[in-house]
Structure 1
Amino acid sequence: MTGVGALVGVGVGPGDPEHVTLKAVRELREADRVFVPATSASAGGAGRAETVAAAHVAPERLIRLGFAMADEDGRDAQWDAAGQAIARVVDAGGTAAFATLGDPSVYSTFAYVVQTVRALAPGVTVRTVPGITAMQDLAARTGAMLAEGTDGVALIPWTAGEARVRAALDAFETVVIYKGGRHLPRLLEVVREAGREDEATVGTHLGLGGEVVTAAGAADGPVPYFSTVLVTPARDAAARGGRL
């Protein structure tokens, strides 16, 4: 097994098929095989990345790979199975595309896929196609400015722990919190305790049917895992360049 082919991580954005770049579409269409992650949340149906990719690639060309990130016992076995399926393509000299939500370099399953495939096919060429992230999409949908002048931006998963989220809220003008959907009530309590509830927005199912974008104060109960909380500072529209 020589591993002479290529593995391409293709970012397909957070949900809206129109957020997929021209380069991403070309890579998906030119690949010998297109792999898409499927999670337990999809209940055997199409996952979000597959739904987006299917708008640009014939559905019969998409191959599902099962992942259950919350299943610590089964995670390694699933990464191994996914890596083996992709390695068969690259070892034959082909190109395997892996469609991933958002960007391949930001909290993506693609990182674990790459590690596994490289171990199985050491000669594989790996490249990535960047994608629009959920924080960019939510900022666009709300008209928020992510960064201006000397602003700092922190992107942190709720799974990093409350202490780190609190520290980010204290230290950065803009804070983006991922992976907090099931714990949204507590997450928003932490935002409120930091005195920043009025600056926070929650986005769910961005670009998909059932999309919800709401102020933090109006958010109610847990939301899906793929949800985003965006906290941006209040800006004085009349003070042009005021944050320089």
Structure 2
Amino acid sequence: MRLIGVGVGPGDPELVTLKAVRVLATAGRVFVPVLDAADVGRAETTVRAHASHERIERLVFALNERSDTARRERHWDAAGERVAEWLRATGGTAAFATIGDPNVYSTFAYLAQTVRDLVPEVEVETIPGITAMQAMAAASGTPLVEGTEPLTLLPLTRGVEPLRDALAGDGTVVVYKGGRRLPEIAEIAKEAGRDAVYGEHLGLADERVRPLSDVDGVGPYLATVLLPARRHSRGGKL
């Protein structure tokens, strides 16, 4: 029996790898994370382009929960129990579809750990997916890194001070989960003398990509901000 974490990219069904498409099309069950069992989440929307709908099953997670640890872990336990139940009953292959990449800030890591504890014999694999920062770079025409530049990826779920520290260097910085802190991010970028590009709903029909300075107020939880390294000449960072 196998559990495969499948990265389905930022939301565009065409940004799913051929290997991911094959697994989604052949797995006995495709589990998808949602906030509410009645909702079609972004991962499921992408999966529906590549898998028969009767094989898709929603697992409810407290995806945005930060303070109530018990509530978050109850959802992990329930989801893991359901996947383990299916694996024990069928001995087959289950896929878990996650936006972006299953090894980058993904719920799959917690699910896989829970299922391993319940079904030690399960084989766990992952299939990489295109991340939001890659989609953001493509949509905005901004190279992520050149030459010797470092790349820093920050989730701003616990405050903006890590961003201030990261911008003290000269590499590119990408901010995830900072939609509620856009005014603070904009102010820090201005203080650091950095350009900043904002993106939301990447890969979807209502995608928005624009300079952060043109954005008023706050954005959705999964908003992305790209702050490229300072570059003054072609090949200057080699």
What range describes the TM-score normalised by the shorter chain of this pair?
over 0.9
Note the 1:51-200 alignment, pairs <5 A: 51-71=45-65, 72=68, 73-91=70-88, 92-196=90-194, 199-200=195-196
Q: In angstroms, what is the RMSD of aligned CA positions?
A: 1.4
**Contact between 1:89 and 1:95, CA under 8 Å: does it hold in 2?**
no
Alignment counterpart, residue 204 of structure 1, candidates 197, 200, 217: 200
Cα distance between partner residues in 1 of 2:211 and 2:170:
20
**Contact between 1:35 and 1:65, CA under 8 Å: does it hold in 2?**
yes
Counterpart of 2:8, as a letter, is: V
Cα distance between partner residues in 1 of 2:80 and 2:170:
38
What is aligned with 1:19?
15
Unpaired stretches in structure 1, ≥5 consecutive residues:
none
Cα distance between partner residues in 1 of 2:193 and 2:158:
21
Counterpart of 2:224, as a letter, is: T
What percentage of residue pairs aligned between the two structures are identical?
A: 55
TM-score for both structures, normalised by structure 1: 0.91
Cα distance between partner residues in 1 of 2:170 and 2:4:
34
Cα distance between partner residues in 1 of 2:115 and 2:148:
41
Counterpart secondary structure, 1:156: strand
Counterpart of 1:45, as a letter, is: D
**Contact between 2:12 and 2:204, CA under 8 Å: does it hold in 1?**
yes
Q: CA deviation at 1:29?
A: 1.1
**Contact between 1:39 and 1:66, CA under 8 Å: does it hold in 2?**
yes
Alignment counterpart, residue 24 of structure 2, candidates 24, 28, 35: 28
Unpaired stretches in structure 2, ≥5 consecutive residues:
none
